[in-house]
Structure 1
Amino acid sequence: MKWIAGVDIGNSTTEVCIGVISEKGSLQFVSSNQTTTTGTKGTQENTIGVIGALEKALHSSRKRVEDLDVILLNEAAPVIGDTAMETITETIITESTMIGHNPSTPGGIGLGTGKIIFIEDLDSVMNQDPYIIVASKMYSYEVIADKVNKARNKINITGVILQADEGVLVYNRLERKLPIIDEVGYIEKIPRGVMASVEVAPPGQSIQTLSNPYGIASLFQLTPEETQRIVPIAKSLVGNRSAVVIKTPKGEVKEKKIDAGFLYIHGPNHSVEANVDDGAEKIMVKLEEVKEIKDIEGQQGTNVGNMLNKMKETLATLTEQRVEQIYIQDLLAVDTTVPVEIQGGIAGETCMEKAVGIAAMVKTHKLPMMRVAEKLQKMTGVHTKIAGVEAVMAVLGAITTPGTKLPIAILDLGGGSTDAALLNENGMVQSIHLAGAGQLVTLLISEELGLKDLYLAEAIKKYPLAKVESLFHIRMENGEIRFYDEPLHPKYYGRVVVMAEEMIPIEGDASMEKIFQIRRESKKKVFIRNAIRALKKIAPKQEVRTIPNVVLVGGSALDFEIPEMILQELSHYKIVSGRGNIRQQEGPRNAVATGLLMHYVGG
């Protein structure tokens, strides 16, 4: 008997399959296992994870890794992917003439405009000009309320700005009610003596004046040029219940414009250019005009040029090549909106800007997996070889799914790329690697929700949501109500949570419905588009309807909603699709590792 192991090193997961070849040449599958990929895919650090997975898979057979006769690796390179996000509108970097804020607990109702005066300077004011009082957190709410009440008998106070989260506490103690803005973290950035305006809308309503560029212009007597500059401030305050806008002194405005830029897509005989400002849809249309992409470049000195340069530098480091040797051979662009921090803000204010998420893929001149095989053979003493192209091995493994027939296609939905392969009745295989998969979805979720935690974005991608409506019940995203016998921890109360193994609360003000929509749309933008793109490239005459079966494999095929999305989309083409069930026991996992063993025996 001959003991063999198939090893599939992916971007996120390393999967192994153990088999035994009898003296008559028949293959028997023994066991399988998987582990998190150690290091970047295609680097020698992968060997640690490979050996760990092999040891686990061999444990039940009481075999050691050294007892294997051969280890078969997938030809994982030569494609390596990366993702990035950039605003695609013209970026204006400026210490703005205006700074704005949106606290969650304002006090009072109304609009007040006046000169900024700090609470410690109240005694020095002798005129009746309108003033807005500013108080740092070193003053208690009782002291602030007392000083404001006394000062109103001498000067005209139109509003209050607080550093602490005490707007309601101060408001309740005022003899004459005023609009109050609190939670201004960087209160020391507010200049003395400049004009400012605070606005607090009635409950259930949003501000009207400070979210309107012309409203701000009216309050501060701005020129048309100044009005143009404060548009990002007004946009950032749309839909808010409260805001403060402060006019900074003249001379502080420093502006630099960075264009979105053009993409230059080079083919063997001609090149096309795509204006990034036109959005992802137009970019992808231009991409389809070049049948065989040799390289993609971004216009120098622009947002997209800077983004692609950074991606090429990252990929050059991974592949140990010079940047000049890195050629992008596929790209997926996705439209989205992201919160952009406003320069000059006093509390990290943001406004939503149109952006594009890009996944790029390069073809390397070296084969990194050869180095992995050499090191693995040296560490284990077992003959190790590169046995087959990833997508081709996956389609062989997919045949073991019950209910499939030739011709059969697979979509391998991974972390960095979407791979596809078609096996026809004559045994011929057509395969393709495309940029964009699970990592891009995570990036879209993270950026659009303004998260600083990719782990949380990954959890939002993988699990359903719920709203904790009391300490004893939650409402799931599908409307189902779930009750608990024991009270939930108070930290979950009123929060949107991810229903992972344990509840994960989501910071921020986004509703469950908004998070749900962003998650679904992100998956559609990446996986549905790439599924159709990939199938067109491998189908005879690029006609998707000629493919009867599509088996979904890979880590993202385990997702609780992506396979259903693809099934619904492919049903328009009368294609049977669904999660694979490799060897009737692995589900969509282990297709490549299984295919490596089948190819070795059959080859």
Structure 2
Amino acid sequence: MKLIAGVDIGNSTTEVAIADIEKELNFLSSSIVRTTGIKGTVENVVGVYNALKEACSNIKVDISQLHAICINEATPVIGDVAMETITQTVITESTMIGHNPDTPGGLGLGIGRTIFIDEIDYVSSTEEVICVIPKSVDFETAARRLNLAFKKGIKVQGAIVQGDDGVLISNRLERKIPIVDEVTHIDRIPMGMVSAVEVAAPGETIKVLSNPYGLATIFNLTPEETKHIIPISRALIGNRSAVVIRTPEGEVKERVIPAGKIILYGTGEKRVAIEEGSEKIIKALKEVWPLKDASGEPGTNVGGMMERVRQVMSELTGQSQGDIKIQDILPVDTFVPQRVQGGLAGEFALENAVALAAMVKTNKLPMENIAAKLQKETGVKVIIGGVEANMAVLGALTTPGTAKPLVILDLGGGSTDSAYINRDGAVKSIHHAGAGEMVTMLINSELGLEDYNLAEEIKKYPMARVESLFNIRYEDGTVCFFQQPLPSNLFARNVVVKGEEMIPIPTRHSLEKIKTIRREAKRKVFITNVIRALEDVAPFNNIRGIEFVVLVGGSALDFEIPEMISDELSRYGIVCGRGNIRGALGPRNAVATGLVISYYNSLRSSKNE
């Protein structure tokens, strides 16, 4: 036997294909493991060795028995280290609570001056007040003192409670008032200030405090002041309860952190403000394409982000920061939770932001270092093969029913690669920043999860609502019943259904909202990149000149991304579907398979010569 191994080092996974080429090309084994380290660095060798070991064990041979190992040219692009959210943060002159507690009490809108419940006996009967109740006062005592105040004619318009006793207090009151509870930092509430408390009926949302003009009416704001409270009203949209308190003038000041401008260098130079959004950035990118480098304004968020990209890559490759060039970026409009200045219960408000994925090109290929280290550890000759996308084309052509000409879209973790092969076998390829890992980042950010692994599960698997201990309703409306009761901690929760496992999603967002965020994240990243890629590789730059597209790579396994891309490309009359590498492996292993085929073809052509 003459065994050849093809190794595809990706952003997320490392894949191996092994074939015997002694007489003819005969594939014997394959494997897949997590990539170790950042793609294109010597840390990848550990993952490569593990993948080779697994593939060899499948056919009961040792790594040392391999004739050669072919690895892909993985170095020119590294997309996963550069994903960072850039936003402009505005802090407004107000304190607010809008955390949607589980147990608000009462109903309606109450406006008055904030006082501690201990001061209630000393309040004038002509003054309207909002009562602040700390945890040290139990619900029965609070209810009794409020009822006494009502009898004395004191105008208690609402209450702010530290504990979760809103309903218990409300049920004992002779007159219903709006009560917001679960206010952790009740000691931060400024006393003697005008405050508004609103609680909506079950199943409804607040209407006055989520309206900037409603807030302007309550607090007698000028048009200029009304502009500043828009972030507050926007943050409260969809809440069942909320409190807004006007702070003493100057206590909380407005502060703006500039997002800055991104500077694109290509056929010309373009400067685009991040606040203008992704559409304007992509338009500017097309005007200077192909991109030679990008940077950001010094002293801004985007400037710091670009420098961090260069610093990380410089440390990993041993090159100077000046030699690190950014060859592509993908901007995506998104929302990020920002902690509210002056908030009393850890409140967050969603703010507009632009997420950026950057693809980095280095001046020299660190693949030579990887090849040298791998050869030393295995004792097997290591060859650096062709460009990823070109190799993926060769692998994709092993899909039954495919033939030249065609386009492959390699949907990976960090980048979206595309290649077009014509009838003569000539290949044109392109790499674009942004893929599966950026989708995960957007989901994690917009849902405020702070749990990358959970965001990854939300991306990859369908969700459901646990309606009872014996049934769930999937996001598409279908119902599934169980003979044994589900764990009680899943009751009335949204869950990710991962095979037999159900993973609870710790967020107050509705199932429909989570589904919308997930699908929008995939659409913004993959549809945008697919169109960009096809415009670059299509004959005469005309997408309608393409007939067949084959999807390969890890993200092609996703349960909805291929259908999204297929629907989009159907508008251009393009036939699109998942690849089935070697008729058995689905969309996986295209590059690794292509590397082996490329080696076999070159060996055969040299013999013929």
The answer to whether 1:209 aligns with 2:208 is yes
Give, as a single letter, the amino acid of the residue that structure 1 aligns with 2:64. Answer: E
Partner of residue 540, structure 2: 541
Please give the alpha-carbon distance, in whole angstroms, between the structure 1 residues aligned to 2:43 and 2:5: 19
Equivalent of 2:277 in 276, 279, 291? 279
Please give the alpha-carbon distance, in whole angstroms, between the structure 2 residues aligned to 1:555 and 1:205: 42
Corresponding residue SS for 2:449: coil
Partner of residue 571, structure 1: 570
Identical columns (%) = 55
- Using the TM superposition, give the Cα deviation of residue 46 of structure 1 relative to its aligned residue in structure 2, in angstroms: 1.6
- Using the TM superposition, give the Cα deviation of residue 471 of structure 1 relative to its aligned residue in structure 2, in angstroms: 1.5
| Aligned partners of 1:376 and 1:384 also within 8 Å | yes
Give, as a single letter, the amino acid of the residue that structure 2 aligns with 1:429. Answer: V
- Using the TM superposition, give the Cα deviation of residue 157 of structure 1 relative to its aligned residue in structure 2, in angstroms: 2.0
- Using the TM superposition, give the Cα deviation of residue 14 of structure 1 relative to its aligned residue in structure 2, in angstroms: 0.7
CA distance 1:118–1:321, change in 2 (3 Å): farther
Matches within 5 A, 1:239-318: 239-268=238-267, 270-318=268-316
TM-score by length of structure 2 reads 0.93
Shifted more, 295-304 versus 583-592: the winner is: 295-304
Equivalent of 1:29 in 21, 27, 30? 27
How big is each residue's C-alpha offset from its partner over 1:282-314, in whole Å with a ceiling of 9 and x where there is no partner?
Answer: 221121111321112223334433433333333
CA distance 1:254–1:311, change in 2 (3 Å): farther
CA distance 1:568–1:156, change in 2 (3 Å): closer
Partner of residue 12, structure 1: 12
| Aligned partners of 2:41 and 2:366 also within 8 Å | yes
- Using the TM superposition, give the Cα deviation of residue 127 of structure 1 relative to its aligned residue in structure 2, in angstroms: 6.7
Give, as a single letter, the amino acid of the residue that structure 1 aligns with 2:252. Answer: V
Matches within 5 A, 1:307-386: 307-386=305-384
- Using the TM superposition, give the Cα deviation of residue 168 of structure 1 relative to its aligned residue in structure 2, in angstroms: 0.3
The answer to whether 1:400 aligns with 2:392 is no
Partner of residue 219, structure 2: 220
- Using the TM superposition, give the Cα deviation of residue 460 of structure 1 relative to its aligned residue in structure 2, in angstroms: 1.1
- Using the TM superposition, give the Cα deviation of residue 428 of structure 1 relative to its aligned residue in structure 2, in angstroms: 1.6
Corresponding residue SS for 2:360: strand
Please give the alpha-carbon distance, in whole angstroms, between the structure 2 residues aligned to 1:285 and 1:179: 50
Corresponding residue SS for 1:441: helix
How big is each residue's C-alpha offset from its partner over 1:190-211, in whole Å with a ceiling of 9 and x where there is no partner?
Answer: 1222222211223343323222
| Aligned partners of 1:211 and 1:234 also within 8 Å | yes
Matches within 5 A, 1:380-529: 380-501=378-499, 502-529=501-528
Shifted more, 334-343 versus 357-366: the winner is: 334-343
| Aligned partners of 1:266 and 1:296 also within 8 Å | yes
- Using the TM superposition, give the Cα deviation of residue 263 of structure 1 relative to its aligned residue in structure 2, in angstroms: 2.4
Please give the alpha-carbon distance, in whole angstroms, between the structure 1 residues aligned to 2:33 and 2:85: 33
Partner of residue 3, structure 1: 3
Please give the alpha-carbon distance, in whole angstroms, between the structure 2 residues aligned to 1:468 and 1:189: 38
Please give the alpha-carbon distance, in whole angstroms, between the structure 1 residues aligned to 2:197 and 2:571: 54
Matches within 5 A, 1:98-113: 98-104=95-101, 105-113=103-111
Shifted more, 429-438 versus 38-47: the winner is: 38-47
- Using the TM superposition, give the Cα deviation of residue 333 of structure 1 relative to its aligned residue in structure 2, in angstroms: 1.4
| Aligned partners of 2:443 and 2:517 also within 8 Å | yes
Corresponding residue SS for 1:86: strand
Corresponding residue SS for 2:252: coil
| Aligned partners of 1:360 and 1:436 also within 8 Å | yes
- Using the TM superposition, give the Cα deviation of residue 559 of structure 1 relative to its aligned residue in structure 2, in angstroms: 0.7
Please give the alpha-carbon distance, in whole angstroms, between the structure 2 residues aligned to 1:15 and 1:492: 36
- Using the TM superposition, give the Cα deviation of residue 153 of structure 1 relative to its aligned residue in structure 2, in angstroms: 4.0
Corresponding residue SS for 2:45: helix
How big is each residue's C-alpha offset from its partner over 1:347-394, in whole Å with a ceiling of 9 and x where there is no partner?
Answer: 122333222222111111132222111111111211212122211111
Corresponding residue SS for 2:521: helix
- Using the TM superposition, give the Cα deviation of residue 239 of structure 1 relative to its aligned residue in structure 2, in angstroms: 2.8
- Using the TM superposition, give the Cα deviation of residue 123 of structure 1 relative to its aligned residue in structure 2, in angstroms: 5.3
How big is each residue's C-alpha offset from its partner over 1:552-585, in whole Å with a ceiling of 9 and x where there is no partner?
Answer: 1110011111112222222222222211111111
| Aligned partners of 1:97 and 1:229 also within 8 Å | no
Give, as a single letter, the amino acid of the residue that structure 2 aligns with 1:407. Answer: P
Corresponding residue SS for 1:573: coil
- Using the TM superposition, give the Cα deviation of residue 78 of structure 1 relative to its aligned residue in structure 2, in angstroms: 1.2
Shifted more, 328-337 versus 346-355: the winner is: 346-355
How big is each residue's C-alpha offset from its partner over 1:514-551, in whole Å with a ceiling of 9 and x where there is no partner?
Answer: 22222222211111121121122112211222232221
Please give the alpha-carbon distance, in whole angstroms, between the structure 2 residues aligned to 1:314 and 1:127: 65
- Using the TM superposition, give the Cα deviation of residue 64 of structure 1 relative to its aligned residue in structure 2, in angstroms: 1.1
How big is each residue's C-alpha offset from its partner over 1:475-532, in whole Å with a ceiling of 9 and x where there is no partner?
Answer: 1122211111111112222222111131111122222222222222221111112112
| Aligned partners of 1:87 and 1:354 also within 8 Å | no
Give, as a single letter, the amino acid of the residue that structure 2 aligns with 1:192. Answer: M
Please give the alpha-carbon distance, in whole angstroms, between the structure 2 residues aligned to 1:17 and 1:313: 34
- Using the TM superposition, give the Cα deviation of residue 56 of structure 1 relative to its aligned residue in structure 2, in angstroms: 1.4
TM-score by length of structure 1 reads 0.94
Please give the alpha-carbon distance, in whole angstroms, between the structure 2 residues aligned to 1:87 and 1:129: 46
CA distance 1:146–1:317, change in 2 (3 Å): farther
Partner of residue 49, structure 1: 47
Please give the alpha-carbon distance, in whole angstroms, between the structure 1 residues aligned to 2:546 and 2:401: 15
Shifted more, 553-562 versus 422-431: the winner is: 422-431
Corresponding residue SS for 2:312: helix
Partner of residue 196, structure 1: 195
How big is each residue's C-alpha offset from its partner over 1:168-224, in whole Å with a ceiling of 9 and x where there is no partner?
Answer: 011111223221110111112112222222112233433232222333233233344
Partner of residue 607, structure 2: none
Q: Tell me which stretches of 4 or more aligned residues in structure 1 moved more than 6 Å.
A: none
| Aligned partners of 2:95 and 2:344 also within 8 Å | no
Shifted more, 520-529 versus 322-331: the winner is: 322-331
Corresponding residue SS for 1:377: helix
Aligned length: 598
| Aligned partners of 2:296 and 2:302 also within 8 Å | yes
Unmatched tracts of structure 2, length 5 or more: 603-609
Shifted more, 422-431 versus 216-225: the winner is: 216-225
Partner of residue 552, structure 1: 551
Please give the alpha-carbon distance, in whole angstroms, between the structure 1 residues aligned to 2:176 and 2:545: 72
- Using the TM superposition, give the Cα deviation of residue 395 of structure 1 relative to its aligned residue in structure 2, in angstroms: 0.8
Partner of residue 597, structure 1: 596
Please give the alpha-carbon distance, in whole angstroms, between the structure 2 residues aligned to 1:265 and 1:5: 40
Please give the alpha-carbon distance, in whole angstroms, between the structure 2 residues aligned to 1:20 and 1:14: 21
Corresponding residue SS for 1:219: helix
Give, as a single letter, the amino acid of the residue that structure 2 aligns with 1:98. Answer: T
- Using the TM superposition, give the Cα deviation of residue 140 of structure 1 relative to its aligned residue in structure 2, in angstroms: 2.2
| Aligned partners of 1:98 and 1:233 also within 8 Å | no
Please give the alpha-carbon distance, in whole angstroms, between the structure 1 residues aligned to 2:78 and 2:85: 20
CA distance 1:228–1:547, change in 2 (3 Å): closer
Please give the alpha-carbon distance, in whole angstroms, between the structure 2 residues aligned to 1:504 and 1:521: 22
Give, as a single letter, the amino acid of the residue that structure 2 aligns with 1:162. Answer: V
CA distance 1:384–1:87, change in 2 (3 Å): closer
Corresponding residue SS for 2:31: strand
Corresponding residue SS for 2:79: strand
Corresponding residue SS for 1:80: coil
Partner of residue 72, structure 1: 70
Corresponding residue SS for 2:429: strand
